[in-house]
Structure 1
Amino acid sequence: MARNRYTIGILFIAVAVLLLLGKLGVFHLLFSFFWPLVVLVPGLLFHYFYFNRTLPAAVLVPGGILTTYGVMFFYCNIFGWGAMSYLWPGFILGIAIGLYELYLYDRGSDRSIWIAALVLGVLSAVFFTITLLVKLGIYIIALILVIAGLAMIFRKRKLW
């Protein structure tokens, strides 16, 4: 009977500590920063189970998608959600990565999976480029002009 009293007493103390930590906002702070783990961990687990020969290669598609999205969400948590204005093509890239992994590791996969992954990857790269040019266009033009000016200054006269 005394043993049950100690166990229940420790349980009460643990619940009280959890309630106090929750009231102080510790769990909210942790969850607000680490919530992308809810997306990232299943993606990594899909990869882990495939490479341990537990699950078939088809799990690499959602694994690649979830892993890519989880990394994007962590980036936005660290650097701010305004970053999503130029990271949005990553949603297309996640699907391309998942399909490419399926093509790469499934011996019986069709070539059309590779073509779909390639098309989505190129489309994502084009959208990334357009987005970066719109967001950072003036800086890129200034950088190109500086490089061209330096090349003209330091290049030998015989080449002009």
Structure 2
Amino acid sequence: MARNSYSIGILLIGVAVVLLLGKLGVFHFIASFFWPLALLIPGLLFHLLFFNRTLPAGVLVPGGILTTYALMFFYCNLFGWGSMSYLWPGFILGVAVGLYELHLFDRSSDRGVLIAAMVLGIIAAVFFGMTLLFKLGIYVIALLLVLAGAALILRRPRSW
């Protein structure tokens, strides 16, 4: 009987600790920060199951998409959701990554998969560039002016 009461005592202490941590907001903080793991774990699991030869190469497409999106969401959790105003082309890039992985690891994949991956990747890169130019345009212009001025100063004159 003493052993049974010992187990129940540990169980009651464990329940009390869980209740107190919940009341202090620990679980809410963990859930609000680490929720992208709900996307990252299945994405990595798809990759693992493919490389263990359990599932076909088609699972690399959702695996690449989920992994890319999870990384974007982790970035937004760290640096604020205002970052999504210039990270949104990552949603297009995620599909491009998934398709490119399919092309890379599936020997029987169609050439159209590579073309689709490249087109989506280029579109995402153009949108990233445009977004950064619109958001950070004045800084890019100032950097280019500084570089042009430094090049003029440091360039050796051909004749004086």
Smaller-chain TM-score range?
Answer: over 0.9
Deviation sequence 1:62-114 (CA, Å, 0-9, x none) = 10000000110111111111110000000000000000000110111111111
| Superposed structure 1 runs of 4+ greater than 4 Å apart | none
Quick one: distance in 1 between partners of 2:4 and 2:49?
41
State the match for 1:115 in structure 2: 115
TM-score, normalising length from structure 1? Answer: 0.95
Q: Say whether residues 1:12 and 2:12 are aligned partners.
A: yes
State the match for 1:148 in structure 2: 148
Q: Say whether residues 1:33 and 2:33 are aligned partners.
A: yes
TM-score, normalising length from structure 2? Answer: 0.95
1:5 CA displacement: 2.5
User: Within 5 A, what are the aligned runs for 1:13-92?
Assistant: 13-92=13-92
Question: What RMSD, in angstroms, separates the aligned Cα atoms of the two structures?
Answer: 1.2
Structure 2: which 5+ residue stretches go unaligned? Answer: none
Quick one: distance in 2 between partners of 1:49 and 1:4?
42
Quick one: distance in 1 between partners of 2:112 and 2:6?
64
What is the number of equivalent residue pairs in this alignment?
159
The DSSP-based 3-state class of the residue aligned with 1:158 is: coil
